[in-house]
Amino acid sequence: MKHRWKYAVAAYAITISAAALAVEPDAAMLSNACAGCHGTYGGSAGPSMPSLAGHSKTAIVEAMKKFKSGERPSSIMGRLAKGYTDQQIELMGEYFSKQKIHFTNQKVDLAKAKRGAELQEEHCSRCHLDDGKEGKDDTPVMASQWLPYLQMQMELYQTGKRKMPERMAEKVKPLSPADIEALLHFYAGVNK
């Protein structure tokens, strides 16, 4: 009986060591796979895809969890998010939070951006910190995101397909469509 135990342990140890030859995917291994669509180091060149670089860990983790549960509407992101454990999502959040913010240097309407800057200061700056380069808690980085991406997301919010956080709904409610357009131009135009 004792011997059998020994053999069982030995066999188990061999199985483990064969599997242990390869270490678990680290943050870079997991995150590199995203870069085909979100750009190297999470800096996007595609106008409908967000940059992930510079978001807080919480922002990435919350977004992924909402994609996974279906709370946030998506096409392929929900399908992909289901392929990762919570722990792996944390690693990806950490990876992208360590990347430098990606400045897109896109063209925006300067008059709109100027108006947007005032609105940012007045209505949004408590969560969208430092011209949207940082976000409070799970607030995403807005600065320098592509204008088409920002417009697509705002449309999802306003049609109710994406649930607006209460603190955001409160601030957005009094704004006109022109105000919102101005804000998006402001964020898109932040390039330093």
Partner 1 sequence: MTLNRRDFLKVVGGASSLALAGCAAQAPAVSSGSAAEIMPKTGRRVVVVGGGYGGTIAAKYVRMMDKSIEVVLIERNDHFVSCPFSNLYLGGLLPDLSSLTIKYDKLIANHGIKFVQAEVTGIDPAAHVVITDKGRLKYDRLIISPGIDFRTEEIKGYDAKTPEIMPHAWKAGPQTVLLRKQLEAMKDGGTVVISVPLAPFRCPPGPYERASMIAWYLKHNKPNSKVIILDANPDLVSKGALFRKGWDMHYKNIIDYRKAAKVTEIDVGKKAVLIEGLDEVRGDVVNLIPPQRAADIAVKADLVGDDKRWCPIDANTFESKKHKDIHVIGDASIAGAMPKSGYSANSEAKVCATNVVRLMNGQPVMSLSGINTCYSYIAKGEAISVAAVYAVKDGAIIAVPNSGGVSPADWSQAKTEAIYAESWLKNILTEMSS
Chain residues that interact with partner 1, rule: CB under 8 A: 21-26, 28-30, 32-40, 44-49, 75-76, 79-84, 88, 148, 152
When the beta carbons of 75 and 176 are compared against partner 1, the nearer one is 75
When the beta carbons of 1 and 22 are compared against partner 1, the nearer one is 22
Pairing state between β 134-135 and 128-129:
antiparallel
The one-letter amino acid code at 156 reads L
The one-letter amino acid code at 5 reads W
* Radius of gyration for the chain, computed over Cα atoms and rounded to the nearest angstrom: 21
Whose CA is closest to 85, among 58, 114, 108, 61? 61
When the beta carbons of 136 and 162 are compared against partner 1, the nearer one is 162
Query: How many other C-beta atoms are found inside a 10 Å radius of the C-beta of residue 170?
Result: 11
Which two tokens mark 67? 């994609």
* Phi, psi (degrees; rounded to nearest 5) at 58: -60, -40
When the beta carbons of 152 and 168 are compared against partner 1, the nearer one is 152
Distance of CA 181 to the CA centre of its chain: 21
When the beta carbons of 26 and 121 are compared against partner 1, the nearer one is 26
When the beta carbons of 40 and 191 are compared against partner 1, the nearer one is 40
CB of 190 to partner 1, least distance (A): 20
- How far apart CA 126 and CA 124 sit, in angstroms, is 6
Backbone conformation region of residue 146, classed left if phi is above 0, alpha if psi is from -120 to 50, else beta? beta
CB of 42 to partner 1, least distance (A): 11
CB of 56 to partner 1, least distance (A): 22
